[in-house]
Amino acid sequence: MFYTAPMRTTYREEPCRTAMNRVTGMGFRWSLNPYMGCAHRCAFCYVRGFERRADRPSDERYGTNVRVKVNVVEVLHGELARRGWRRELVAIGAATDPYQPAEGRYRLTRGCIRALGAAQTPFSIITRGPLIVRDVDVLSEAAVRADVMVSVSIATLDESISSRLEPGVAPPRQRLRAIRTLADAGISAGVALAPVLPGLTDAPRDMAAVLDAAREAGATHAWSNVLNLRPGTREHFLDVLEREWPSEVDRYRRLYPAGGSGYLAPVEADPIERRVAAVRRGSRVGDRRRIVLSPPPQPEQLVLTM
């Protein structure tokens, strides 16, 4: 079955055989992605590199075809019910945004949150989608049973930059409002300053603007990473630079040479990391007091006196 949405994105409704995927080399062992492909179509998305390796489009066509795992909630229920499941942390959105536009129609991320909460399984969410505020109720329910953490990605507050790099994403201020809504509900919501782009978003004042705004919104944590341009992502990103910031092309060709790992060399990355660390220390993200969710009290045995 096919459903074609506006903006020329085709949604392919296909069942999956597994919901959670085992991960190695990351800070978590399990990931969960209700969708494959992303209509946000961020120019810097590292998943473009994986798409190229799988002989799928990583250029402008990326994100125009999204696979919807229509049975993912049912499959997840089965996996969480296994006797061997140890309630390990599950990362939602590591490969595709769980709150891209398709979620408004299919509500699969919402169903997965319910399942994880019922199974008392901790999970984290990474998203650029303000749609997450729709699910404050199920996130709050899950948070009384297990650890829940949400990170909202904001690379810059400059809409002239974000609109060109993240063509399918809501403006940064809308994402800040999402952090505020979540934090006010007592959910651990923070900001991911990600990615940090050399020469475009790495000025201390620009990074501080993001973190200060996130702190004001009630962010409980912050983390960051520097742009990775692996093959597949690199070619598309350079095309975007050529069109939008031609003066930056030579710099990026030097910083991210063809055939490289996609990571900045330490001599280039270390100064950026030090600037980010200094800005994070100064921002004091997480200082604002927030509501703390706690499980309902256990029923007490009443003592009757005669």
Residue range 66-96, pLDDT digits in tens: 999 999 999 999 999 999 999 999 999 988 9
Q: Each residue of 88-121: pLDDT tens digit?
A: 999 999 889 999 999 999 999 999 999 999 999 9
Higher pLDDT among residues 58 and 166, named by residue:
166
Residue 65, pLDDT above cutoff 60: yes
| Mean pLDDT score, 158-186 | 96
d(CA 237, CA 259): 15
pLDDT at 54: 66
Instruction: List the single range of 2-16, 202-216, 233-247 with lowest mean pLDDT.
Output: 2-16
Residue 59, pLDDT above cutoff 80: no
Mean of the per-residue pLDDT values of the chain:
88
pLDDT at 287: 52
Cα distances (Å, whole numbers) of residue 131 to 1, 134, 156: 25, 6, 19
CA dihedral 79, 82, 88, 92 (to 10 degrees): 10
Higher pLDDT among residues 224 and 297, named by residue:
224
pLDDT at 288: 45
